[in-house]
């Protein structure tokens, strides 16, 4: 089977370089255009099931694809973005102003730095495993998930069986696409961070 992953399209918070986490921000005008282009790209894979998180930016990014293929998106909280605690809604300059010591630690290592109010790592990983089991339970064929940057990053690490405490190299751009394959237990990353559909290139 194949799992097609896409990050939601650009939001107004993305455009302002703000932490989003589990706060919900609408798509920007550019994001709405990206969602249309993303739909045309993902439709080529003909997924038989379309999942999203229960946050509006993920649902809105999936809507054009759902319309093209006549699918009803399955929106589940298990696919929701990681919570960044007190950072949510803030820009980097605002973090520096309000939490100067935390800012310096975050700039050294964002993922390893504890954040007040953040989602606990073991809870996040449990959600990831549950989400992955849902995707893999889709049977043969192709399923798609339109989700969130940090969640998808960690999901690829989990899928490939990489060290969860090590580097997470899979950073998704808005509306970018990755393709995972599970062939009789052999798991592969076939494509990552594809953005040709956004720039006018040919990604066939």
> What DSSP letter does each residue of 26-67 carry, written as one string?
PBPHHHHHHHHHHHHHHHTT--SEEEEESSHHHHHHHHHHHH
| Spatial distance between the Cα atoms of 196 and 68, rounded to a whole number of angstroms | 20
Token pair 């003909």 is found at: 46
For the stretch 158-169, pLDDT in tens is 999 998 887 788
pTM of this structure: 0.93
3-class DSSP assignment, residue 156: helix
Q: Is 23 exposed, middle or buried (0-12, 13-18, 19+ CB in 10 A)?
A: middle
Domain ranges of the chain: 6-83+119-199, 85-118
Ramachandran assignment for 2, one of left (phi > 0), alpha (psi -120 to 50 degrees), beta (any other) = beta
Q: 5 is written with which tokens?
A: 């992953």
Q: Which fold has domain 6-83+119-199?
A: Rossmann fold (3.40.50)
For the stretch 64-99, pLDDT in tens is 999 999 999 999 999 999 999 999 999 999 999 999
| Spatial distance between the Cα atoms of 184 and 201, rounded to a whole number of angstroms | 33
| Spatial distance between the Cα atoms of 171 and 151, rounded to a whole number of angstroms | 10
Residue 183 forms beta bridges with which residues? 186
Average of pLDDT values for 136-146?
89
Measuring CA to CA, which residue among 142, 176, 174, 178 is closest to residue 159? 178
Q: What is the DSSP letter of 4?
A: E
Task: Supply the pLDDT for residue 203.
Answer: 45
For the stretch 7-58, pLDDT in tens is 999 999 999 999 999 999 999 999 999 999 999 999 999 999 999 999 999 9
Residue 175 forms beta bridges with which residues? none
């Amino acid at each position: 089977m194949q799992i097609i992953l896409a990050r939601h399209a650009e939001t107004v918070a993305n455009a302002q370089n703000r932490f989003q986490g589990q706060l919900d921000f609408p798509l920007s005008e550019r994001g709405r255009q990206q969602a249309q282009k993303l739909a045309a790209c993902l439709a080529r894979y003909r997924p038989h099931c379309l999942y999203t998180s229960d946050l509006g930016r993920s649902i809105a990014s999936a809507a054009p694809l759902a319309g093209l293929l006549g699918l009803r998106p399955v929106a589940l909280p298990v696919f929701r973005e990681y919570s960044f605690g007190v950072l949510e809604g803030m820009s980097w300059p605002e973090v520096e102003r309000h939490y100067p010591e935390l800012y310096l630690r975050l700039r050294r290592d964002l993922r390893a730095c504890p954040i007040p109010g953040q989602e606990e790592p073991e809870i996040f990983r449990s959600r990831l495993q549950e989400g992955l089991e849902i995707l893999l339970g889709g049977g043969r064929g192709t399923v798609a998930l339109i989700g969130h940057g940090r969640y998808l990053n960690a999901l690829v690490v989990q899928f490939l069986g990489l060290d969860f405490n090590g580097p997470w190299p899979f950073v998704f751009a808005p509306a970018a696409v990755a393709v995972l394959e599970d062939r009789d237990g052999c798991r592969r990353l076939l494509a990552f961070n594809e953005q040709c559909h956004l720039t006018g290139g040919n990604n066939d």
